[in-house]
Amino acid sequence: MGDVLVVAEHLNGVLADITFEMLGKGRELASTLVGKVSVALLGNDVRPLAEQLGAADSVLLVEDPALERYTPDAWQQALASVLRDRQPVLVLVGNTGMGMDLAAGLSAALNLPLAAYCGDLRVDNGEVVATSQVYAGKLCAESRLPVDGAIVSVLAGAFPVDAGKSSEVASIDSVAAPAIRARVRFKQLNVPEAGDVDITREQVLVSVGRGIQEADNIALAEALAEVLGGAVSASRPIIDSGWLPRVRQVGKSGMKVKPRLYVAVGISGAPEHLEGMRGAELIVAINTDPQAPIFDVAHYGTTTDLFDLLPLLTEKVRGLRAVPA
Amino acid sequence: MAGVENERVIEQSHAVVDGVDISGHWNRMFEQRVSTTYDTDLLDKVTDLPGAESMGWCYQCAKCVGVCPVDIVGGDYGPRKIFRKLQTGVDLFTNSDLWMCTSCMNCLRVCPKEVDMIKIMPAVREQVLLEGTAPLELQRALENTFRYGNPLGEPARKRADWISEAGVPVPILKDLGRAVDILWYVECYPAYHPRGKDASRALARVMTALGLDFAILGIEEKCTGDTQRLAGEKGLFDELTEYNLKTLRKYQFKRIVVSDPHAYNAMKNEWPKFNQGGDFEVLHYTELLAPLVGQMKFEQPLDLTVTYHDPCFLGRHNGVYAPPRQIVSAIPGVRMIEMPRCRENGFCCGGGGGGMWLDSFTSERNKERMSDRRVKEAVEAGADTLAICCPYEPSRFEDAVKATGSDGKLIVRDVIELVDEAMDLKTKYGG
Amino acid sequence: MRILVPVKQVPDLVEDLEVGPDGVSLDQDLVKYVLNEFDDHALEEALQLKETDSVTEVVAIALDYGDVDQVLFTCLAKGADRAIKVEGAFGSSPDSHTAARALAATLRDLQFDLVLTGVQAIDDLDGQVGPLLATLLELPHVSVATHLALDADGRTLSVQQEYGAGVTAELQVDLPAVIGVQAARATPRYASVSRVRQLMRSAELETVSADVSAAGTRLQVERLFKPTSTTHAEMLKGSPAAVADAIARLLQERGVLRG
């Protein structure tokens, strides 16, 4: 029988979208595999969250003060115990800041194979085939998973959120947590200060990547953002270099944005970045590499050098704005 | 500065020398004496480095400051100033002054004491690089050179892709399987940079039109690394030279022709220091083509007022001034004029000595980019065309044309592009 | 306190990646190996900890494949105190599970307080080495970590783990532990070629062997392929002025310039 188990992810009392995305897909796979889909929900006093997971056949509620906040060590110990008991054919974990610890940790703890960075799943001849993005999204690998059990870490946004939502009553199973030896302890959560620009609210974003080359050149993007009435955001390398504050980061570990216009300047389009902006209404990409993955999600693109293009574009837009419509 | 004795004063109230009466207080003669008691540690730190001894010979005449291009663009610079700063407690090893010098050599040209910044700066930079600190831009260019054989970070495999649009066949030595007259060492910017590729294609067409027997190394070619050497990466230069010499020894050719004055400098002046490195006849392409000007069939005159910019490493460093001028002035319709700072006093474009990869760093400290100043000079001299023949220059000067608002007033062309155009070879060959 | 830094090499993305004739692996002829940038950050973080905290030794470790000597000498040039090469049948490049097992076997014979390694690599189809290694050694682990700080008693480490939207959690980890470093506190330092060459002549790499016979991913890779996107941007061509014009008009047509 092919049971699927989804590991729920939540923060501050809110279930992350990835949980529903995996649940929706998990339900579909379980049905094809003639099995059941359950969700492992770890935490403390999280029954209200469990009630949102009605799309699952059962919610395995594992509550314990040691599990109140996510920490890799405690959650891994608890999940290992649940998995040893239930032995599902397929375990779905988010390919996220929380999930990366768990997926690989559980793979080693239980000697289960792991397919990471998974963007698609299907059943073929009773076996699960996972399609993973590798080499910064330049290539995809299709792997057939062993029937006796495997873990898959799923990319955020790979599957539709709505398929995992349901008004059905959740069937909740309380599972006792094992004794946990917490070698990693939660101290505090840091949420970025408001005050700077909230890029998730901006209608126009001019986003810079490594192609901008130096901090000073960001001024070119700022000029364009200004005439467009928007703000400047960036991909991870720019933020890591300290050239813009973290609240400007677009991507998997940054913000998810859905502006009317997203201008990607010198951004190659690694999967982590695309996760953050592919929902934008109109995407224009500027990158000298015609093979850059960003062009697969952009609506319009050009390989013109950004240093030549940006000043001209800024002037053109300024000119068009100056003329009353 | 050591080994000083107490002064000996020789004063005569009455002295006659060779029949001339020089009595008086002004006939005092002083022998060597202590002129100051400052701490020479920071100066010694420099002069103790092999190659940097000459820093200590400066006697503050300031002839260098007058010709130093960094000083002229407001960088407050020159060997004299560096010496003075070393005296007064500034550590060159940690000061930004270390990275401003472009190795243009105008200072050494005029220095009566032969204080040699071309040796001093790389020596100090090498020490700083060994410690792992260098401006980030430069670091990247050095890492790229090491990993990909070019500072631009382009894949080595694509080094010969430019030949497909030359319009004429460009043989690759490995495939040619025979000895050749000219081994054309293309170098990095001429192979990868859009404007460099324009010039390379033009040179391929001109050499073909003149019936010259040439071939290139293709993807076996790596950067000669001379500029990286001057930026302080002696190890990288040695590694590249060993590799390049090994590659060249596989083939038979009469002479090497380069478009890049930096490669020219490496081959003429540095390679002979390596085993069998001095065996080659090396020509800049202008030296190859100047004697052949009579054979060039010019199909159309170019109505241009051209001024020629002497690249530092072709002109001042290696004394080649006439051949490029011979070529340009042979083109029908061209009027040649000289900028005030020309030939030995040519004004640096800012790309040498690592400057190509330190633009952010140097622009913060200068009031104006050196390339901007040079372009203004060309315009003021009355030129509509700035002719160049070093691959660092097209991008620097074309950016400068935009930055100085000279768009429409001045175009930048490699000498070979002018020849190619006048011979109308694109029509003849395509490409 | 001793920090171990396992580093790996990955295919350089500057080169085009092509699928080999077997259809399930890279065309090795075209692959050039380069140090995994996250491992570079892990090494930098280790070296930074050495400068500011009570760390006495930083040891770089790498499995024997690709340009391993170059990589290890570069680590020494950057300031690592020792470099260990782990020999074994790793083929052109091992998967994460094989690598983790080989490293675990090696680390069991070494005394250490902390393992820093890159959070991930572009070729870890079967998961990230950090958590795999930690769990095989029964050690705690935290990935996607930045802002490492050793606590005064030298027995615990504080880190920040990154989630989405800029949210991070500050965690305290008992040592010894394995940390997957997302970004070091400073840009990874430069190792001059002069220095690497010096070390190649003067320094020695330590070598150990690892038996990797019982390893592998147990994933049956059936196909490696270039993703063909069903969509692609409409590409605008021409001079910069023409392209600027086209984009500006496009924005105007879409009503983006209103208001």
pLDDT exceeds 60 at position B3: no
Q: What is the pLDDT of residues A132-144, one digit of tens each?
A: 999 988 899 999 9
What's the pLDDT score for residue A239?
86
Pick from C73, C190, C199, C201 the residue to mutate for testing the B interface (most B CBs within 10 Å). Answer: C190
What's the pLDDT score for residue B33?
54
Minimum distance, in Å, between the CA of residue C137 and any CA atom of chain B: 34
What's the pLDDT score for residue B1?
45
Minimum distance, in Å, between the CA of residue A23 and any CA atom of chain C: 20
Domains of chain A: 4-175 (3.40.50.620), 199-322 (3.40.50.1220)
What's the pLDDT score for residue B25?
60
What's the pLDDT score for residue B359?
86
Using the Cβ of B231 and the Cβ atoms of chain C, whether some distance falls under 8 Å is answered with no
Residue B123 included in any domain: yes
Option in C14, C32, C195 nearest B130 (CB): C195
Q: What is the mean pLDDT of residues B170-179?
A: 95
**ipTM value > 0.85:** yes
Residue type, C56: T
Q: What is the pLDDT of residues C201-258, one digit of tens each?
A: 999 999 999 988 767 889 999 999 988 777 889 999 999 999 999 999 999 888 888 6
Residue B84 included in any domain: yes
Token match 């004055």: residue? B261
Q: For residue C14, what is the nearest residue in chain B, using CA coordinates? A: B155
Q: What are the chain A neighbours of C174 within 8 Å (beta carbons)? A: 183-184
Q: What are the chain C neighbours of A184 within 8 Å (beta carbons)? A: 140, 142, 171-174, 177
C192 and B132 within 8 Å at the Cβ level: the answer is yes
State percent of chain A over pLDDT 90.
Answer: 77
Residues B158 and B279 in one domain: yes
* Structural domain boundaries, residue B250: 152-292
Q: What is the pLDDT of residues A87-130, one digit of tens each?
A: 999 999 999 999 999 999 999 999 999 999 999 999 999 999 99
Higher pLDDT, C179 or A148: C179
CA–chain centroid gap for A232, Å, is 22
Q: What is the mean pLDDT of residues B43-48?
A: 96
Query: Among residues B292, B313, B341, which one ends one of the domains?
Result: B292
Which CATH number applies to C2-209? 3.40.50.620
What's the pLDDT score for residue A290?
87
Using the Cβ of C190 and the Cβ atoms of chain B, whether some distance falls under 8 Å is answered with yes
Minimum distance, in Å, between the CA of residue C199 and any CA atom of chain A: 30
Q: Write out the DSSP string of B375-393.
A: HHHHHHTT-SEEEE-STTH
Residues B165 and B221 in one domain: yes
Q: For residue A254, what is the nearest residue in chain C, using CA coordinates? A: C165
B137 and A216 within 8 Å at the Cβ level: the answer is no
Higher pLDDT, A138 or A28: A28
Q: For residue A305, what is the nearest residue in chain B, using CA coordinates? A: B194
Please provide residue B241's backbone torsions phi and psi, each rounded to the nearest 5 degrees.
-65, -45
Q: What is the pLDDT of residues A230-274, one digit of tens each?
A: 999 999 889 888 899 888 999 877 888 999 999 999 998 888 898
pLDDT exceeds 50 at position A301: yes
C183 and A240 within 8 Å at the Cβ level: the answer is yes
Q: What is the mean pLDDT of residues C127-155?
A: 95
pLDDT exceeds 80 at position B225: yes
B132 and C15 within 8 Å at the Cβ level: the answer is no
Option in B136, B148, B239 nearest C193 (CB): B239
Distance, CA of A139 to CA of C30 (rounded, Å)? 15
What's the pLDDT score for residue A270?
85
Minimum distance, in Å, between the CA of residue A248 and any CA atom of chain C: 9
Neighbours of C52 (CB within 10 A): 10
Pick from C31, C194, C196 the residue to mutate for testing the B interface (most B CBs within 10 Å). Answer: C194
A75 in Cβ contact with A67 (< 8 Å) = yes
What's the pLDDT score for residue C169?
95
Residues 35-74 (C) with a CB less than 8 A from some CB of A: none
Option in C15, C32, C191 nearest B132 (CB): C191
Q: What is the mean pLDDT of residues C20-37?
A: 91
Higher pLDDT, B131 or C182: C182
Q: What is the pLDDT of residues B237-256, one digit of tens each?
A: 999 999 999 999 999 999 99
Spell out the residues 6+ positions from residue A217 whose beta carbon is closer than 8 angstroms to its own: A208, A307
State percent of chain C over pLDDT 90.
Answer: 76
Q: Identify the CATH number of the domain in which residue B287 sits.
A: 3.40.50.1860
Q: Which of B195, B216, B218, B217 is nearest to B207 (CA)?
A: B216
Using the Cβ of B239 and the Cβ atoms of chain C, whether some distance falls under 8 Å is answered with yes
Using the Cβ of B126 and the Cβ atoms of chain A, whether some distance falls under 8 Å is answered with no
Residue ranges covered by each domain of chain C? 2-209
Minimum mean pLDDT range among A9-13, A36-40, B403-407 = B403-407
**Chains in contact with C via at least 3 Cβ–Cβ pairs below 8 Å:** A, B
CB pairs under 8 A between A and C: 271
Q: What are the chain A neighbours of B360 within 8 Å (beta carbons)? A: 214-216
Using the Cβ of C187 and the Cβ atoms of chain B, whether some distance falls under 8 Å is answered with yes
In chain B, how many domains are there?
4
Pick from A17, A77, A128, A134 the residue to mutate for testing the C interface (most C CBs within 10 Å). Answer: A134
Residues B303 and B284 in one domain: no
Query: Among residues B292, B311, B340, which one ends one of the domains?
Result: B292
Pick from A210, A213, A268, A304 the residue to mutate for testing the B interface (most B CBs within 10 Å). Answer: A213
C104 in Cβ contact with C133 (< 8 Å) = yes
Distance, CA of A248 to CA of A241 (rounded, Å)? 13
Residues B335 and B211 in one domain: no
Distance, CA of B331 to CA of B413 (rounded, Å)? 14
B142 and C12 within 8 Å at the Cβ level: the answer is no
A115 and C100 within 8 Å at the Cβ level: the answer is no
Residues B31 and B76 in one domain: no
Reported as a pLDDT band with limits 50, 70 and 90, residue A2 is confident
Minimum mean pLDDT range among A287-301, B343-357, B373-387 = A287-301
What's the pLDDT score for residue A325?
44
Using the Cβ of B137 and the Cβ atoms of chain A, whether some distance falls under 8 Å is answered with yes
Residue B136 included in any domain: no
Q: What is the pLDDT of residues B22-32, one digit of tens each?
A: 776 655 555 55
Q: Identify the CATH number of the domain in which residue B69 sits.
A: 1.10.1060.10
Distance, CA of A172 to CA of A294 (rounded, Å)? 43
Q: What is the pLDDT of residues B400-428, one digit of tens each?
A: 998 888 989 999 999 999 999 999 999 99
Q: Write out the DSSP string of A165-194.
A: ---SPP-EEEEPPPP---SEEEEEEE---S
Higher pLDDT, B237 or B363: B237
Using the Cβ of B89 and the Cβ atoms of chain C, whether some distance falls under 8 Å is answered with no
Reported as a pLDDT band with limits 50, 70 and 90, residue C83 is very high
Q: What are the chain B neighbours of C197 within 8 Å (beta carbons)? A: 235, 238-239
Residues B263 and B159 in one domain: yes
What's the pLDDT score for residue B39?
85
Q: What are the chain A neighbours of C158 within 8 Å (beta carbons)? A: 187
Using the Cβ of B11 and the Cβ atoms of chain C, whether some distance falls under 8 Å is answered with no
CB-count exposure of residue A277 (10 Å: 0-12, 13-18, 19+): buried
Using the Cβ of C240 and the Cβ atoms of chain B, whether some distance falls under 8 Å is answered with no
Minimum distance, in Å, between the CA of residue B122 and any CA atom of chain C: 13
CA–chain centroid gap for C98, Å, is 16
Q: Is the pTM of this model over 0.90?
A: no
Using the Cβ of B360 and the Cβ atoms of chain A, whether some distance falls under 8 Å is answered with yes
Query: Among residues B292, B312, B346, which one ends one of the domains?
Result: B292
Residues in A lying within 8 Å of B, measured between beta carbons: 213-216
pLDDT exceeds 60 at position B278: yes
What's the pLDDT score for residue A324?
53
B239 and C197 within 8 Å at the Cβ level: the answer is yes
Residues B268 and B181 in one domain: yes
C67 in Cβ contact with C33 (< 8 Å) = yes
Neighbours of B240 (CB within 10 A): 23
Q: What is the mean pLDDT of residues A38-64?
A: 96
Residues B265 and B315 in one domain: no
Pick from C35, C192, C197, C202 the residue to mutate for testing the B interface (most B CBs within 10 Å). Answer: C192
Residues B221 and B239 in one domain: yes
Q: What are the chain A neighbours of C177 within 8 Å (beta carbons)? A: 183-184
Q: Which of C131, C144, C139, C202 is nearest to C176 (CA)?
A: C139
For residue A175, list its beta bridge partners.
A62
Distance, CA of C132 to CA of C118 (rounded, Å)? 13
Q: Which of A192, A118, A144, A258 is nearest to C218 (CA)?
A: A144
Q: Which of A149, A293, B168 is nearest to C17 (CA)?
A: A293
pLDDT exceeds 70 at position A322: no
Distance, CA of B281 to CA of B253 (rounded, Å)? 10
B130 and C194 within 8 Å at the Cβ level: the answer is yes
Q: For residue C214, what is the nearest residue in chain A, using CA coordinates? A: A111
What's the pLDDT score for residue C211?
84
Using the Cβ of B133 and the Cβ atoms of chain A, whether some distance falls under 8 Å is answered with no
Q: What are the chain B neighbours of A215 within 8 Å (beta carbons)? A: 360
CA atoms within 13 A on the CB side of C32: 15
B229 in Cβ contact with B268 (< 8 Å) = no
What's the pLDDT score for residue B402?
83
Query: What torsion do the CA atoms of B306, B310, B311, B315 make, to the nearest 10 degrees?
Result: 150
Q: What is the mean pLDDT of residues B79-102?
A: 95
Residue B141 included in any domain: no
Pick from A15, A70, A73 the residue to mutate for testing the C interface (most C CBs within 10 Å). Answer: A73
B157 and C187 within 8 Å at the Cβ level: the answer is no
Minimum distance, in Å, between the CA of residue B99 and any CA atom of chain C: 16
Residues B418 and B363 in one domain: yes
